[in-house]
């Protein structure tokens, strides 16, 4: 199983039946493909869709219907389409139950940085600040380290923040971690790895509360 | 009064230095034909207000690549590495807003108001001390309304009076921009006579629209982008 697949397979388990969920650009939008076709959920896409669903069949693909990442989505029964002001009213009025979002950096306080790497790669804020500040629950999906092997899960974020203390849970390719008042608590390991090895790949201090102890 | 205009005449109303709102979120809603005519006519020193920068070679990216854009007011340009490079090299000034704040600033101007109070981004580097307002024991961020000289929009259908209907995810910023810009130019592949719409289903009432440009057909840039198709 690839690193990405491992994250997505674990991430899909976060979606509770009956919920309204936003899936951010990058890894999160791919979570939709792991949902069973009859799963009771409404996917919100900030470009103005409630009830977005998996890519339509080729002959039904609509160039005027994409999700926020540009993928050609379909609509479920009961879907609605609306303008960007309504879409973000829905977000700021906290009608979304869950947002899964990517990160450049995330830290032990639940701070999130995902919009700006000064002078290098600044994709911009998009919907991230409002989603992060106003969604009931924020789950970050990220590789545990960056492409150079450096930790992305830090003591304190160094990049400009998207929002403070907004993250509830982090799902990496190695572990599931909750943000608590006592810092990051490892709930599950997704691979065979010792506590010490996982800590070595994580700048933030980890405490371990995994079922069945060290893998 | 009929608001039909030719593509050339409609775009010729735009001077260099204009502030222009452009509808669309990614491709859907982007008025590719109006933009191509603006590239052809060559007005410069433009300020564009659009959710994103489209993708390389498409839509507003053509204007930026052609050196006609001084400043881009936007939310996210992550799908256009070329524009990120131009921003880093100082060739185009880019101002980022949270997406719903950009929408609400435009909506506010379109409603004839001047600003609103929010807590979005209040703890982030996008908020300056002078943006804060203490009012009755709480601190808010003041967001000012955002208007423009022109709006360039794509509608799925329109009538001669300028009544508009959008489709799919192509609604996005268009109805907001139609209300916030002083001169609104709309392209559409389906221009009908008044009476062709069910009145309750009109998204943008014609009072907000100045020019309607009929398109003979939709060119390939309105079609499916192969690299976004999941195989």
Active site (annotated) includes residue A59? no
In a domain, A215, yes or no: no
- A120 CB burial (10 A radius; 0-12, 13-18, 19+): exposed
DSSP A166: -
Specify the pLDDT at position B115. 98
| Residue B97: closest C-alpha in chain A | A125
The single residue listed with the structure tokens 């090299």 is B89
In a domain, A100, yes or no: yes
CA-based torsion, A70, A74, A78, A83: positive or negative: positive
Over residues B214-231, mean pLDDT: 94
Secondary structure E strands in B89-180: 93-96, 115-118, 132-135, 138-144, 148-154, 157-159, 164-165
Going by pLDDT thresholds of 50, 70 and 90, the confidence category of residue B231 is confident
Q: How far apart are CA A46 and CA A67, in angstroms?
A: 8
Minimal Cβ distance to A129: which of B79, B106, B124? B124
Q: Which domain holds residue A179?
A: 3-208
Q: How far apart are CA B151 and CA B227, in angstroms?
A: 29
In a domain, A83, yes or no: yes
Phi, psi of B149 (to 5 degrees): -70, -40
Contact B28 A64 (CB under 8 A): yes
Going by pLDDT thresholds of 50, 70 and 90, the confidence category of residue A212 is low
CA-based torsion, A188, A190, A193, A196: positive or negative: negative
In a domain, A17, yes or no: yes
Contact B171 A61 (CB under 8 A): no
- CB A178, CB A187: distance < 8 Å: yes
pLDDT digits (tens, 9 = 90+) for A59-107: 899 999 999 999 999 999 999 999 999 999 999 999 999 999 999 999 9
Specify the pLDDT at position A87. 98
Choose among A86, A49, A50: nearest CA to A41. A50
In a domain, A89, yes or no: yes
Beta-carbon contacts below 8 Å between A and B: 156
All residues at 6 or more sequence positions from A214 whose CB lies less than 8 Å from its CB, including other chains: A194, A195, A208
CATH architecture label of B7-112+146-217? 3-Layer(aba) Sandwich (3.40)
Specify the pLDDT at position B1. 83
Average pLDDT of chain B to the nearest whole number: 97
Instruction: Return the residue in A27, A113, A125 with the most chain B beta carbons within 10 A, the one to mutate for interface testing.
Output: A125
What is the ipTM score, two decimals? 0.97
Minimal Cβ distance to A91: which of B27, B100, B230? B100
Over residues B10-28, mean pLDDT: 98
pLDDT digits (tens, 9 = 90+) for B75-134: 999 999 999 999 999 999 999 999 999 999 999 999 999 999 999 999 999 999 999 999
Contacts of B176 in chain A (CB under 8 A): 83-85
Contacts of B97 in chain A (CB under 8 A): 125
Minimal Cβ distance to A125: which of B76, B88, B156? B76
């Amino acid at each position: 199983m690839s690193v990405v697949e491992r994250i997505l397979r674990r991430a899909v388990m976060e979606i509770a039946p009956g919920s309204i969920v936003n899936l951010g650009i990058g890894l999160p939008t791919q979570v939709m493909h792991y949902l069973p076709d009859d799963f009771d959920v409404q996917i919100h896409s900030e470009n103005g869709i409630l009830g977005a669903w998996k890519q339509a069949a080729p002959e039904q693909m609509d160039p005027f219907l994409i999700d926020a990442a540009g993928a050609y989505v379909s609509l479920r029964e009961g879907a609605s389409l609306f303008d960007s002001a309504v879409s973000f009213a829905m977000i700021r009025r906290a009608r979304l139950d869950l947002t899964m979002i990517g990160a450049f950096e995330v830290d032990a306080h639940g701070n999130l940085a995902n919009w700006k790497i000064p002078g290098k790669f600044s994709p911009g804020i998009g919907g991230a600040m409002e989603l992060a500040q106003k969604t009931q629950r924020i789950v970050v999906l990220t590789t545990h380290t960056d492409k150079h092997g450096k930790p992305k899960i830090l003591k304190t974020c160094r990049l400009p923040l998207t929002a403070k203390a907004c993250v509830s849970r982090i799902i990496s390719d190695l572990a599931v971690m909750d943000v608590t008042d006592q810092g990051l608590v490892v709930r599950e390991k997704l691979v065979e790895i010792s506590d010490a090895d996982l800590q070595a790949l994580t700048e933030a201090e980890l405490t371990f509360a995994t079922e069945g102890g060290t893998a | 009064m009929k608001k039909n205009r030719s593509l050339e005449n409609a775009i010729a109303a735009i001077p260099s230095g204009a502030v222009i709102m452009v509808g669309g979120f990614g491709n859907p809603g982007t008025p590719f034909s109006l933009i191509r005519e603006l590239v052809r006519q060559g007005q410069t020193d433009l300020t564009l207000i659009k959710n994103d920068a489209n993708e390389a070679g498409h839509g507003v990216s053509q204007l930026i690549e052609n050196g006609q854009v001084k400043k881009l007011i936007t939310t996210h340009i992550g799908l256009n590495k070329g524009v990120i490079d131009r921003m880093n090299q100082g060739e185009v000034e880019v101002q980022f807003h949270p997406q719903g704040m950009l929408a609400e600033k435009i909506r506010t101007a379109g409603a004839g108001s001047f600003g609103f109070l929010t807590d979005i981004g209040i703890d982030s580097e996008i908020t300056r001390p002078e943006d804060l307002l203490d009012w009755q024991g709480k601190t808010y961020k003041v967001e000012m309304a955002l208007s423009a000289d022109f709006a360039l929009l794509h509608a799925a259908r329109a009538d001669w009076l300028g009544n508009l209907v959008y489709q799919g995810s192509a609604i996005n910023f268009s109805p907001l921009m139609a209300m916030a810009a002083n001169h609104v130019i709309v392209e559409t592949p389906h221009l009908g006579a008044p009476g062709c719409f069910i009145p309750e289903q009109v998204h943008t009432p014609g009072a907000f629209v100045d020019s309607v440009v009929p398109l003979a057909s939709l060119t390939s840039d309105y079609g499916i982008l192969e690299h976004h198709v999941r195989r």
